[in-house]
Structures are given as C-alpha cells and as structure tokens.
C-alpha cells in the first residue's frame, strides 16, 4: 500500500494543482508549464516597485527577472518572445530587451500574482493584470513602449521575428533606409500588432485586420482616424470593446502620423498572406 500511495503522489505532483494559475513556456524545443506557486518559490524572485502604466500608480510586485527565467532555454536565432494573453493580445518582445540585465538599462520582470493576495482590478476592467504580467524597471532607459507591458499572460513562446515571418508587412524595398514610413512600420509592429493583423499577417486576432479588405486610411477622414487612435471611445462604442486609447506617453502626435503613413503606404501595395 505504501508503494501504491507513493506512486500516486508522484503522479499528481507532475501536474499543476487543480485551479492553480499556470504559465506555458514554448521556447525553442523547451516546453514546460509552471504554476504561480512554483515561480514564486524560485530563489531569484524579488520584490520590486514600479511606476505602473497599466494601473496608473506605483505598484509593488513579487517578480522574476526574465533574463534569469529564460536562462538555459535555447532561443532560436533572429527570434522574438511572444507574450500571449488570456484576452487574445499577443505582444512581440525582442529577446535582446528581455535578456538585458545591464545596470542602468531597462530590465524585464515577470510579475507573479500571489494566489492568496490577488492584485486589484485594472482601471476600467473587472480583472487584475494577473496571473502573470511583464513589467519593467528603468523602462525609459531603453524606450519601452506601452504595448510591451503585456498582462493577463497565459503563455510565453519563441517565434521568428515579424520581419522574417511575415513578408506581407514589408514596405516597398525602394524606400530609403531612413524613410519615415519605415519608422511607422516599426511602431505599427510594436503598438498595433498586439491586437491586429495586417494583410492577414500577425499572431493576434483580437481586433480586425488593418488592411483587408480595406485600410482605415481609405474610409476614415484623416483627423477622425487620428482621434480614433488616440481615444476610440470618443467616436464609437461597441459590445466587448477592448481597444485602448493611446495617450501621449504611449504615442506622440508625430508617432501617430508615422503609423498612419505606413498604413497609407500599405493600402497602395496590398499583399495577402499565403
């Protein structure tokens, strides 16, 4: 009987406890699932305080450095980490930013919501940022964007970089390297593709494709489109509305113009994903 009981305990310990929040890792060939208690028990977990752009106030977290968490996992070359959220949001996070642990640079952490002391609900939402949330110390040091703070994370997975994976995002190769449309493309990938596809390319379908069957630049008046990006609720409401507004800390007026210039360009060279 003792032998059978030992086998039973070994069997159930191989799986997350019922109801425990878990995070799925698919990094290269490394596949694993870890619960919040397992991650909180890691000796590298530490207390951090940040000026949190999601909560709009200083927040205190138990968190693991992403550089330590990903250590030992073989990241494929020219890859990014996709942070997949429970609501369909998929952030594209460059590995060089996540792995940077140099003093003074932006440092990425996985904040872990303790099961016994849940975080407060996010402003305007019924749920917290948990169970897992990527946050940054010294975010301004490396120009971390608002959509690079993904919350409600369910999975972290490696993938080819957007430029390598989706040729449908590419601008006309004849454009100069310093063309402002290319700057708009980079902003679009970071700030818009977390929710939208373009030409059928992208990992998230939380929002509509922004070039198929038509681009918003083709049916919005220019000033209305800028207003819509800045504050969508100022122009329309719909059931299940998830699109956030982008205040000037997230996107300046000039940066919105750059994104629109890229979208206008892509509307004239429309390509569909194969």
CATH of the domain at 101: 3.90.420.10
Q: Are residues 105 and 134 in the same domain?
A: yes
Q: Are residues 177 and 199 in the same domain?
A: yes
Number of compact structural domains in the chain: 2
> pLDDT digit string (tens) for 196-224?
999 999 999 888 999 999 999 999 998 99
Rounded to two decimals, the pTM is 0.84
State the pLDDT confidence band at 18, using cuts at 50, 70 and 90: very low
pLDDT for the residue numbered 6? 41
- Domain stop point among 160, 175, 209: 160
Q: Are residues 155 and 233 in the same domain?
A: no
- Domain stop point among 103, 130, 160: 160
Tokens representing 94?
């460059």
Kindly provide the b/e burial profile for residues 252-269, where b requires at least 16 CB atoms within 10 angstroms of the residue's own CB.
Answer: eeebbebbbbbbbbbeee
Dist CA 194 CA 66 (whole Å)? 20
Q: Is the pLDDT of residue 63 over 90?
A: yes
Q: Are residues 132 and 219 in the same domain?
A: no
Q: How far apart are the first and last CA of the chain?
A: 58
- Return mean pLDDT, the chain: 87
Q: Are residues 40 and 139 in the same domain?
A: yes
Q: Are residues 115 and 238 in the same domain?
A: no
CA atoms within 13 A on the CB side of 157: 11
> pLDDT digit string (tens) for 131-187?
999 999 999 888 899 999 999 999 999 999 999 999 999 999 999 999 999 999 999
Residue 132 lies in a domain: yes
Q: Are residues 27 and 148 in the same domain?
A: yes
Q: Are residues 131 and 69 in the same domain?
A: yes
Q: Is the pLDDT of residue 117 over 80?
A: yes
Q: Are residues 97 and 27 in the same domain?
A: yes
Residue 1 lies in a domain: no
Q: Are residues 22 and 77 in the same domain?
A: yes
Q: Which domain holds residue 247?
A: 164-268
Mean pLDDT, residues 228-242: 78
Which one has a higher pLDDT value, 7 or 165? 165
CATH number for position 197: 2.60.40.420
Dist CA 53 CA 207 (whole Å)? 22
* Percentage above 70 pLDDT, the chain: 89
Residues β-bridged to residue 85: 153
- Domain stop point among 141, 160, 179: 160
pLDDT for the residue numbered 27? 93
Q: Are residues 134 and 239 in the same domain?
A: no
Q: Are residues 209 and 244 in the same domain?
A: yes
Residue 4 lies in a domain: no
């Amino acid at each position: 009987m003792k032998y059978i009981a030992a086998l039973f305990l070994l069997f159930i310990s191989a799986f997350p406890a019922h109801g425990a929040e878990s995070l799925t890792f698919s990094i290269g060939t490394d596949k694993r699932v870890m619960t919040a208690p397992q991650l909180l028990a890691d000796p590298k977990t530490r207390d951090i305080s940040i000026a949190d752009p999601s909560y709009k106030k200083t927040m205190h977290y138990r968190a693991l450095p992403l550089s330590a968490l990903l250590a030992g996992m073989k990241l494929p070359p020219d890859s990014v980490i996709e942070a997949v959220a429970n609501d369909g949001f998929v952030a594209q996070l460059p590995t060089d930013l996540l792995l940077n642990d140099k003093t003074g640079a932006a440092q990425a952490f996985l904040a872990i919501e303790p099961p016994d002391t849940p975080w407060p609900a996010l402003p305007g939402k019924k749920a917290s940022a948990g169970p897992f949330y990527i946050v940054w110390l010294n975010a301004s040091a490396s120009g971390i964007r608002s959509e690079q703070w993904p919350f409600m994370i369910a999975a972290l997975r490696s993938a080819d970089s957007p430029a390598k994976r989706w040729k449908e995002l590419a601008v006309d190769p004849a454009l100069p390297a310093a063309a402002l449309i290319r700057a708009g493309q980079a902003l679009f990938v970071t700030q818009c593709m977390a929710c939208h596809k373009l030409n059928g390319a992208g990992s998230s379908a939380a929002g509509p494709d922004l070039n198929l069957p038509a681009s918003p630049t083709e049916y919005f008046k220019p000033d209305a489109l800028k207003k819509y990006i800045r504050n969508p609720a100022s122009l329309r409401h719909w059931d299940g509305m998830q699109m956030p507004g982008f205040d000037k800390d997230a996107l300046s007026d000039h940066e919105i113009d750059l994104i629109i210039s890229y979208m206008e360009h892509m509307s004239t060279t429309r390509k569909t994903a194969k």
